[in-house]
Structure 1
Amino acid sequence: MSAGPRKKLKTYHFHPEWEEEYFFVMSHSKVICLICKASVTLPKKANVERHYRSVHKAYDSDFPPSSELRKRKVRELKSQLAGQQSLFLKPTSTAKAANEASLRVSHVIIKHKKSFQDGEMVKEAFVEAADALFRDYTNKTEIVNAIKAVQLSRSTVTRRCEVMAKDLTQQLRKDIEDCECFSLQLDESTDVSDTAQLCVFIRMVFTDMTAKEELLTILPMKEHTRGEDIFRTFKNFVDNTKLPMSKLSSITTDGAPAMVGRCNGFIAKCREDDTFPDFLNYHCIIHQHALCAKMLNMKEVMDVSLKVACSIRARPLQRRLFRAYLEDADCVHTDLLLHTDVRWLSRGNFLQRFRVLLPEIKEFLHGTKLAEYARLDDEEWLLDLAFLTDITHMLNELNLELQGKDRTVVDMISSVNAFKRRLHLLCSKLQRKDLANFKNIASELEKQGKDSALLDSVRYTEQVNNITSDFEKRFRDFALLEPIATFMCYPFSEDHDIDSLAQNIGAVFHLNPSALEDEMLSLQADIQLKARAHAGQFWNLFRVEKYPNVRKCATSLTSLFGSTYLCESAFSQMKIVKSKYRSQLTDEHLEACLRLAISSYCPDYATLTDSIQCKSSEYGRDPPKYIELCFAALYQDHGERFLTLLVFMCFLTGK
C-alpha cells in the first residue's frame, strides 16, 4: 500500500501589530512576550492571544488598547528586553573582538617572520604602552583589560597561523579554478636542517587579462633530489589537490640537470605523463644572465683581488686594524666586501669597493710579504681591474632590471635585447677609444697619466664580444617569442608577416595556424579595436567567440614566467623563517609561515573569528566569567529556560 501525498506544512508569520495588541515581539527567530519574557512555539495569532488573555488580561484595563499610554508601555518593555539581551551579548562580542585582534596580531608576527612565542612579548609591550598612553583616560582599566583578553600565547599563535594559512590556500584554489590558464616556476634548495625544499610558484591569468603570482606550495624532499624524485613529489601534490593541469601553459626552472635532463629530468618526466598537457619550458633568464657573466676570462684579476681582500678579512685582528685605519683616514667606506658565486650581484659590488679602497689597502699592506701585493702596482693589472669593474657593474644593472615580482616575459626580453644592443655599441666605442661608458678605465688612465689613445682596447673588445655571443646563444628560446610578443603588443602594424607569424604562434602554443591567420587578418581590419588599441587592458576587449585562438595566445603569453626570481626570493625568506634558532620548525608550519609572509591575499578575519570558540585569556583565568559567557551564548539560542540558571550561577559566584 503506497503512502498518500505528504501534507504541505503551513508557514506562519509574525505580524507587527501584535506588539501593541498582545505585547509580543519577534526576537532572534522567537516570539517573546514583552511582559513575562515567555515564548510561544509558533507565531500564530491564536497562540499569542491565548497567552495574553489567560496571563495578562489585566493589561487591557491598566493600558487601554490604542491609547498613548499603551504605546508608551510597549516601547518601555521593548527597551528593557533589548537591554537584557545586550547584557548577555556583550561578553560574546568582547570575546569575538579579542579573537579578531589575536588573528590580526598573529598575522603581523608571521608576516615579519618572527617566532610564534613573540606573541607574548607583543602583548606585554602592548599592555605597558597602554598603561602610559591611557593614563589619564577614565576608561583606562577597561582598555587594559581588553588588551589582556587577547590570546597571544605560543600555542595560540601557532593555531592562528594554521587557520589563516588554510584560508589563504582556499582563496588560492578558488582563483586557480577561476583563471583561464597558469604557468609554474620551480626551484629546489635546502633549509637549515638540510631538508631539500621544492618551491613552486604559480602565475594565473583571468578572463579580464589580469595576472596574479602566488606561492603554490613548498614540498619537503627527505631523500634524493633527482629528476624522478622531484617529479614524484610534485605529481603527488597535483593528485592530492586536484590541480587542473589542463590549464598549464609553461614551466620555468633554474636549468639544473635534475630539472631539464633529457631522459630523467623533471621536465622530461612531465612530458611523458598524460596528466600534463603540451606546455612550454624555459631556463630562467636571470640564471642564464649569470652564466653569460662568467664568460669574462679575467680569472687572474679576481684571484689577486680575493687573495688580498681575504688576507684582511679572514683574520679578526687584521680586520679590526684595517677598519680602525679607514676610520682614521676618514674614508667613506669602513670595511671590505667579500664575493660569493651564489649571490649574483656580489662580484660587481666587491670589485667596486676594492677599487675605491685600493690606495688604503696598499698603504695598510705596505711591507708585508704577500705575493699578490706586487700586482697592486702593475699598471696593466690595474686597467684590467677597472675594466672588469665597469663591465660587471653593467651586468649588475641588467640583473636588477630582470628581478622583481610581476615582471612579464615581454619586459624581460626587451631588457635583454636592449643590453645586447648596448654591448654592440660598447664594442664600437672601445675600438674608437671612447671611454664614456667606462668610467673606471678613464679614472685609472688619468691616475697613471696616460691618454686614452694609448689604451690597448683589443683584448677588452674581445671580452665584450665573448659576452655578446654567449647572450645570442643562450637566449634563443626567448628569441622565438620576440616576434609573437611584438605582434601581441601592437597587432595593427603593416610590417607583420601574418603567414610566418601564424606558423610560429601555432608551433609555440599548439594552435591551428589556418584559424590563426583568419583571426589575425580579421583583427587587423577591426576598426573598433584599432581605435582603442592604446586603451588600457586592450586584450580584455576581445570577444572569445570571434578571436578564440588569438585570445588564447594572449593569455598564454601573459601567463609565462621568465625567471625563477620568486623561488629564489622565497628561499631567502625561508632562511629567516627557519633559522638555526627555529631548526625544529615542521614542514607544515614552514609552508604556513611562508604563505602568510609572501602571499598578497589577506585572511578573512570576520569568517575566521566566527569559526573560533569565543574564549579569551581573561576568561581562562576567571572561570565564573567564562561560565557566564557560555550561558550567554546558550541564552541566544534557548532564551528563558537558561535565564534562571544563569542568575543562580551569578548568585553563587558573587558576580
Structure 2
Amino acid sequence: MGKASAALQASVALAKKGNVERHFKMLHSKTDTDFPLKSNLRKQKVQQLKHMLLTQQKMFTRPAEKNIATTVASYRVSQVIARRKKPFEDAMFVRMVFSDFEVKEELVKIIPLKGHTRGEDIYSKVKEYLISENIQIQKLVSITTDGAPAFTGRTNGFLALCRKDSSFPKFFSYHCIIHQQALCAKFLNMNDVIKTVIKIAHSLQRRLFRELIEELELQHGELPFHTEVRWLSKGKVLYRFNQLLPAILTFLKERNEETFVGILEDSNWLQDFAFLVDITEKLNDLNLKLQGKDKHILEMISEVKAFSEKLTLWEKNVMRGELKHFPTLNKQIETAEIPYERERFFNIITSLKEEFEKRFSDFKRIELVCQFVLFPLSNINVEESVADPINLWPVVPNEKYPHLISVAQQVKAFFPSTYLCESTFSSMNFIKNKYRTRLTDDHLDSCIRHGVTNYSPDFKKIVDESECQVSH
C-alpha cells in the first residue's frame, strides 16, 4: 500500500483510515476553525497546498521543462544533420494518390544489391521487399526507369519479369523524360568542338589565368570544370568559355600555345562553337524546366512538345538566315570573313528534332488521356469557379463517375522522371564518404530517408513518450 502525504505538513503515513484521522486530530485540530468548510479561504488554502505538493513531486516524477526543451532541440539538431547528409543500390520511390487526390512522393526503400545487378537480381530483391512489407502491388499503375539494360531487357529485364509475374497488374512503363532529353542532346554531332573547348579549359593554369582575369577586370571569373555526361555542365562551360574567349586567346598567346591559338582564330571553328553555345543554352533551359519534385507527367510532355515545335521554327529561321534566336551565332556571322553554313546548322537541328520525335513517341499513347485529366473542362470557362482545373476532380461524385475518377487517380500517380532517385543517389554519395567509420545497410537507409523525406517528426510527441532522465 502506498503512503499518504499530508499537505499541511511534510509528513507521511500509511494510507489507513485510523492513521489519517489520528494525524488530523493531533496536528490540524484548528483547521476547521481557521478555514471554515465551503469558504473561499479554505479553497484558496487547498489550492496553495496542492500547488506546493505538485511542485515537490515534479522533481522526482518528471524532468523539468528545460530538460524537455533540450531534448526536443537535440531531436531537431539530429534532423538537420540528417537532412544536410553530414558525416550513407537501388532506390525505390513511390508516388501515391489518395482518395481526395492529394499526391505524396516518398522514398520506399534503399535496396542493397550485393554481387550482381542484373534484372533478375533487382526483381527478386524488390519482390522480396514488397512481400515482407505486405505492400498492395495491385495498386501499381506505372514504373519509371533510367533506361538501363537491367531494367529494359526484353527477356530478363526488371520490367519484363514484372510483367510475367501474375501478382503484378498491367502497368505502363517508360524511360525517364529527363534522361531522354539528355540523350537527344548528345545527337548534336559536334563532339569535336566540345572536346576542343574542354581540352583548352583544362590546359589553362588556373592561378595565372585568374590573375589575367583580375587584371582585365572581367566579371565572369574562371572557367568551371566540365564533368562527362552532364549536359548542364557542358552548357555552363561553353557559355563561360564564350564570355571569356578574348581573355583566353590573349592568355594562350602569352603562353605561346600556337595550336590552341590557331583553333580559336579559325572562323569555321568559331562559327560551329557559336552555334553550339546557343543550342546548348536552349537544351539546358528545357532540362531545368523538367527537373524538380511534384511534376505532373503532362507538364513535362508539354514542355518537350513545345521544344520540338520550336525546333521546327528554328529550322526555318536558320535556313533563311534569321538568327534572332541564335544571338551568339549571329554575332559571329557578322564579324566572320567566311560564308554562313546554313545547311550544316539546318541539318543538325533537323537531326535533333527527329531524335526528340523518336524518343518521345511512346508518350503519344497517353497524351490525350493526360490532357483530359489535367484539363477536364478545357472547352468551358471555369476560371471563376476553379483556379486549377485538376483540382476539380476531388469534388466529382465517385458514385456517378467511378471510372473517370479511377483514370484520373492513375494518371496523377505517374512518375514522369527519375529525378528523385537521381537526387537521392547524389545524397547517398555524399553520405557514403571515407570519414564514415561504420555504415550498415539499415543505417544508410535511415540516413537517406531523413535526408530526402518531406515529412517532419512530431518532436513533442516523441519526447512525451520518452523517459527523459532528470539531472542530479
Q: Say whether 1:96 aligns with 2:96.
A: no
Whole-Å separation in 1 of the counterparts to 2:447 and 2:107:
11
How far did residue 385 of structure 1 move? 0.5
The 3-state SS of whatever aligns with 2:107 is strand
| CA deviation string 1:399-442 (max 9, x = no partner) | 00000011110110110111011111111111221110001111
CA distance 1:530–1:415, shift in 2 (3 Å): closer
Alignment of 1:90-489 (within 5 A): 90=59, 92-94=63-65, 95-115=67-87, 197-312=89-204, 318-366=205-253, 368=256, 371-448=259-336, 454-489=339-374
Whole-Å separation in 1 of the counterparts to 2:425 and 2:119:
20
Q: Higher mean Cα deviation, 234-243 or 565-574?
A: 234-243
Alignment of 1:545-556 (within 5 A): 545-556=399-410
The 3-state SS of whatever aligns with 2:223 is coil
Whole-Å separation in 1 of the counterparts to 2:385 and 2:454:
31
Whole-Å separation in 1 of the counterparts to 2:201 and 2:74:
50
| CA deviation string 1:245-267 (max 9, x = no partner) | 12211110000001111111111
| CA deviation string 1:372-403 (max 9, x = no partner) | 44222111111010001111110000000000
Structure 1 letter corresponding to 2:304 = V
How far did residue 209 of structure 1 move? 0.9
The 3-state SS of whatever aligns with 1:276 is coil
Whole-Å separation in 1 of the counterparts to 2:262 and 2:292:
42
The 3-state SS of whatever aligns with 1:281 is strand
Structure 1 letter corresponding to 2:231 = W
Number of matched residues? Answer: 464
How far did residue 590 of structure 1 move? 2.0
Give the structure 2 partner of residue 641 of structure 1: none
Q: Is the Cα contact below 8 Å between 2:3 and 2:12 reproduced in 1?
A: no
Q: Say whether 1:598 aligns with 2:457.
A: no
TM-score (ref. length: structure 1): 0.66
Give the structure 1 partner of residue 432 of structure 2: 578
CA distance 1:583–1:349, shift in 2 (3 Å): farther
Whole-Å separation in 2 of the counterparts to 1:39 and 1:282:
77
Structure 2 letter corresponding to 1:574 = M
Give the structure 2 partner of residue 136 of structure 1: none
Unaligned runs of 5+ in 1: 1-28, 42-46, 116-190, 192-196, 313-317, 495-523, 620-624, 626-655
Give the structure 2 partner of residue 157 of structure 1: none
| CA deviation string 1:261-320 (max 9, x = no partner) | 1111111111122332211111000000011001111122122222222222xxxxx332
Q: Is the Cα contact below 8 Å between 1:430 and 1:457 reproduced in 2?
A: yes
The 3-state SS of whatever aligns with 1:306 is helix
Structure 1 letter corresponding to 2:228 = D
Q: Higher mean Cα deviation, 83-92 or 478-487?
A: 83-92
Q: Is the Cα contact below 8 Å between 1:254 and 1:284 reproduced in 2?
A: yes
How far did residue 73 of structure 1 move? 4.1
How far did residue 535 of structure 1 move? 6.0
The 3-state SS of whatever aligns with 1:339 is coil
Whole-Å separation in 1 of the counterparts to 2:231 and 2:262:
29
Give the structure 1 partner of residue 44 of structure 2: 75
The 3-state SS of whatever aligns with 1:488 is helix
How far did residue 580 of structure 1 move? 2.5
The 3-state SS of whatever aligns with 2:357 is helix
Q: Is the Cα contact below 8 Å between 1:307 and 1:372 reproduced in 2?
A: no
| CA deviation string 1:305-363 (max 9, x = no partner) | 22222222xxxxx3322222222222223322332233230111111112222222222
Structure 1 letter corresponding to 2:297 = V
Structure 2 letter corresponding to 1:247 = K
CA distance 1:67–1:83, shift in 2 (3 Å): closer
Whole-Å separation in 2 of the counterparts to 1:533 and 1:69:
62
CA distance 1:410–1:69, shift in 2 (3 Å): closer
Whole-Å separation in 1 of the counterparts to 2:14 and 2:40:
22
Q: Is the Cα contact below 8 Å between 2:185 and 2:231 reproduced in 1?
A: no
Structure 2 letter corresponding to 1:460 = F
Structure 2 letter corresponding to 1:63 = D
CA root-mean-square deviation:
2.9
Whole-Å separation in 1 of the counterparts to 2:268 and 2:7:
101
Work out the percentage of aligned pairs sharing the same amino acid. 39
CA distance 1:376–1:62, shift in 2 (3 Å): closer
Whole-Å separation in 2 of the counterparts to 1:370 and 1:233:
57
Q: Higher mean Cα deviation, 240-249 or 582-591?
A: 582-591
Unaligned runs of 5+ in 2: none
Whole-Å separation in 2 of the counterparts to 1:54 and 1:74:
23
Alignment of 1:8-27 (within 5 A): none
Q: Is the Cα contact below 8 Å between 1:492 and 1:530 reproduced in 2?
A: no
Q: Say whether 1:63 aligns with 2:17.
A: no
CA distance 1:491–1:73, shift in 2 (3 Å): closer
Point out which structure has higher relative CO (alpha carbons under 8 A, 6+ apart): 2
How far did residue 582 of structure 1 move? 2.3
Q: Which has the larger radius of gyration?
A: 1
Whole-Å separation in 2 of the counterparts to 1:563 and 1:587:
26
Q: Higher mean Cα deviation, 390-399 or 582-591?
A: 582-591
CA distance 1:564–1:370, shift in 2 (3 Å): farther
Whole-Å separation in 2 of the counterparts to 1:106 and 1:461:
56
Structure 1 letter corresponding to 2:80 = V
Structure 1 letter corresponding to 2:64 = S
CA distance 1:380–1:449, shift in 2 (3 Å): closer
How far did residue 449 of structure 1 move? 6.4
CA distance 1:401–1:535, shift in 2 (3 Å): closer
Give the structure 2 partner of residue 137 of structure 1: none
Whole-Å separation in 2 of the counterparts to 1:88 and 1:63:
27
TM-score (ref. length: structure 2): 0.90
Q: Is the Cα contact below 8 Å between 2:36 and 2:42 reproduced in 1?
A: no
Structure 2 letter corresponding to 1:250 = S
How far did residue 530 of structure 1 move? 11
Q: Is the Cα contact below 8 Å between 1:203 and 1:559 reproduced in 2?
A: yes
Q: Is the Cα contact below 8 Å between 1:249 and 1:280 reproduced in 2?
A: yes
Q: Say whether 1:588 aligns with 2:464.
A: no
How far did residue 68 of structure 1 move? 6.1
Whole-Å separation in 2 of the counterparts to 1:353 and 1:61:
93
Structure 2 letter corresponding to 1:252 = T
Alignment of 1:526-565 (within 5 A): 532=385, 537-565=391-419
| CA deviation string 1:69-120 (max 9, x = no partner) | 96534532442232122223146134333322221222122222223xxxxx
